[in-house]
A and B are shown apart, each in its own frame.
Chain A
Amino acid sequence: MTTADSAEMTGADTALKVRNLNAYYGAFRALKDVSFDIPRNKVTALIGPSGCGKSTLLRCFNRMNELIPGARIEGEVLFNDENVYHPAIDPTEVRYRIGMVFQKPNPFPKSIYDNVAFGLRINGYRGDYDEAVERSLRGAALWDEVKDRLHESGFALSGGQQQRLCIARALAVEPEIILMDEPASALDPIATLEIESLMRELIRDYTVVVVTHNMQQAARVSDKTAFLNMDEDRAGYLVETGDTHQIFTNPADERTEAYITGRFG
């Protein structure tokens, strides 16, 4: 916590509060004492060298990390001031409220429609399915391209379209936060720009947290940036967080400056 802006934030503006988070894989410590706030209805970028724990941190937000055998965490992640790791909390509820989009597009081997409807079905949605599917596909800027072939396989789409389908699938259950782990790294430049502009639109209704190794992307797309680094034991730690503009023009820490100017990582 090195920046002023998080101190200014009131509870209502904060989507997630990370407090003293440590993550382990067996005996290996992947994250060390990470604490920061993620603002609501903003894009927050997590940047840092490969292997510093960005994906791990992201997966800790919606308890996806505990699906990995041997993974364990200490500390708190507060979502609406509730610790998602509280023993009374069901992890499936956390994942229902905090959605995720992965590095490689991973549509189900089902139709476009059924991909989007999947989350509605398992969570017992009782509204109009056609309407919800259309709304989600519009939200992911995919509707116009697929409205005439909703019952074709999701695999029939291009890579960029598949990734937007995955975003639509995540939007369908109306999460509050959408976590994206390098969502454009498997896509061509045009599809990448489409995903980036989509992120800017999504923050009208959602909070977006995106992991990226692409500095330009972080600068283009995010409002706030968190820079992680790793120490000699390869344990990741948070160097600084702040407004993206400030981080990229006037970083407080010299390691951040070295990283964003491409001197390491």
Chain B
Amino acid sequence: MLRGGSWDREPSHGASLLRSGRSAPTRGAATGRVVHLIFFLCALVSIITTVGIVLSLLIESLGFFREVSVWEFLTGTRWSPILRPRSYGVLPLVSGTLLVAFLALAVAVPCGLGIAIYLSEYAPDRVRRTLKPILEVLAGVPTVVYGYFALTFVTPQLQNIPLPMFRDLLVFNALSAGIVMGVMIIPMVSSLSEDAMVAVPRSLRQAAYALGATRIEVALRVVVPAAVSGIVASFILAFSRAIGETMLVTIAAGATPRLTLNPLESIQTMTAYIVQLALGEAPHGSLEFQTIFAVGLLLFMLTLLMNVLGHLVVRRVREEY
């Protein structure tokens, strides 16, 4: 006997592998198909949800656009869907949204990029391993906390700045919401940019060092340019996040649709408007209620555009080196 001991599956030399009639290959294939199906269903759920959202937005806003022309909606400069005289120009909400988003980028881009460069090019391994989880915690703080932080801490600090323009700063203003939102999206910029920078081959850094480059020259002239697609993609995704952020701006930026680029004013973003109306008493099916979906559709298309842009840029990064 070659094989000692006892076996559940009794060895019988010379017998066919198909002897027991357990039809193992069939069973294996069946299991494979079931697993395949489960994973496919998981993917399907998210696809169906997305399609469902788009459809409901489209259908509901159709009612709105029967009353108000797309042109009027997109180019009108006054937004007053409830108070008479009514007006359905969405530009004030768009400007409010973009104002806060650009303020946020103004904070998040330099800070996030600086952190990414530090983590990828300077920080010793130990520091990197401590800092990255801390940044992730920052990303995990509930947005409502950021909202009250902006309203009850940052705004009062801004009001204390001894400059005339800050003296009359309103309680609700785009500036403090934008700054705090910038802090909120720093981890997104830093972590995606760092990933792109870490992916730059070491051999390129060595080539630069061998020509007499200093560390900062290697970082700024070799690593950042080689990772630029990934870095820009991180900006775009962060911007898209800033456009879609709701709670922070609802709490801190105000509820005053106003076509302005002045960050010291109180404004209203698209998302904050949707919240305001959804919590209000507008009857289901009314024109006021349908504005939610028109604004929602525009918001969806804006973020979709941003995400598509981001992914296109990310795809380019793979072709770089």
Contact = CB atoms under 8 A, between A and B. Distances in A.
A176 to B, nearest CB: 13
B127 to A, nearest CB: 13
Interface stretch (A116-124, A139-147, A201-209): A116-124
Interface stretch (B26-34, B201-209, B279-287): B201-209
Interface in B197-247: 201, 203-204, 206-214, 217, 221-222, 225-226
| From A99, A107, A109, A173, residue with most partner B Cβ within 10 Å | A109
A166 interface: yes
B254 to A, nearest CB: 46
Contacts of A129: none
B39 interface: no
Range class of the A interface residue count: 20 to 34
B206 A92 contact: no
Contacts of A29: none
A122 B210 contact: no
A169 B225 contact: no
A104 interface: yes
Contact of B226 (A64, A99, A108): A108
Interface string A38-63: 00000000000000000000000010
Contact of B207 (A69, A93, A169): A169
A106 interface: yes
B209 A64 contact: yes
B215 to A, nearest CB: 9
Interface in A60-116: 62, 64, 67, 69, 92-93, 95-97, 99-100, 102, 104, 106-110
A228 interface: no
A91 B89 CA distance: 63
Contacts of A93: 212
B211 A96 contact: yes
Nearest to B321: A109
Given A108-B226, A109-B320, A67 B206 contact: yes
A183 to B, nearest CB: 13
A23 interface: no
Contacts of A118: 208, 211, 221
A234 to B, nearest CB: 24
Given A108-B226, A109-B226, A173 B212 contact: yes
Contacts of A92: 209, 212-214
B224 to A, nearest CB: 12
A92 B213 CA distance: 6
Interface in A151-180: 155, 166, 169-170, 173
Contacts of B321: 109, 155
Given A108-B222, A109-B320, A122-B221, A95 B203 contact: no
Contacts of B211: 95-96, 99, 118-119, 122-123, 169-170, 173
A155 B225 CA distance: 15
A106 B214 contact: no
Contacts of B320: 109
Nearest to A93: B212
Contact of A95 (B124, B125, B210, B221): B210
Interface in B169-211: 201, 203-204, 206-211
B212 A106 contact: no
Contacts of A121: 221
A118 B207 CA distance: 10
B213 A108 contact: no
Q: Which of B211, B213, B225 gathers most chain A CB within 10 Å?
A: B211
A123 B203 CA distance: 20
B230 to A, nearest CB: 13
Contacts of A123: 211-212
A252 B221 CA distance: 49
Given A108-B222, A109-B320, A122 B217 contact: yes
Contacts of A119: 211-212
Interface in A199-254: none
**Residue in B125, B206, B212 with the greatest tally of chain A CB atoms within 10 Å:** B212
A110 B209 CA distance: 17
Interface in B91-149: 124-125
A96 B210 CA distance: 7
A95 B207 contact: no
Given A69-B125, A106-B204, A107-B207, 19 more contacts: A67-B206, A67-B209, A92-B209, A92-B213, A92-B214, A100-B206, A106-B207, A108-B204, A108-B207, A108-B208, A109-B225, A109-B320, A118-B208, A122-B213, A122-B217, A155-B321, A166-B207, A170-B210, A173-B211
Q: Nearest 9 pairs between A and B by C-beta?
A: A96-B212, A100-B210, A106-B203, A119-B211, A109-B321, A92-B212, A95-B212, A106-B207, A109-B320
26 contacts: A64-B206, A67-B206, A69-B125, A92-B213, A95-B209, A95-B210, A96-B212, A99-B211, A100-B210, A102-B210, A106-B204, A106-B206, A107-B207, A108-B208, A108-B222, A121-B221, A122-B208, A122-B212, A122-B213, A122-B217, A122-B221, A123-B211, A155-B321, A169-B211, A170-B211, A173-B211
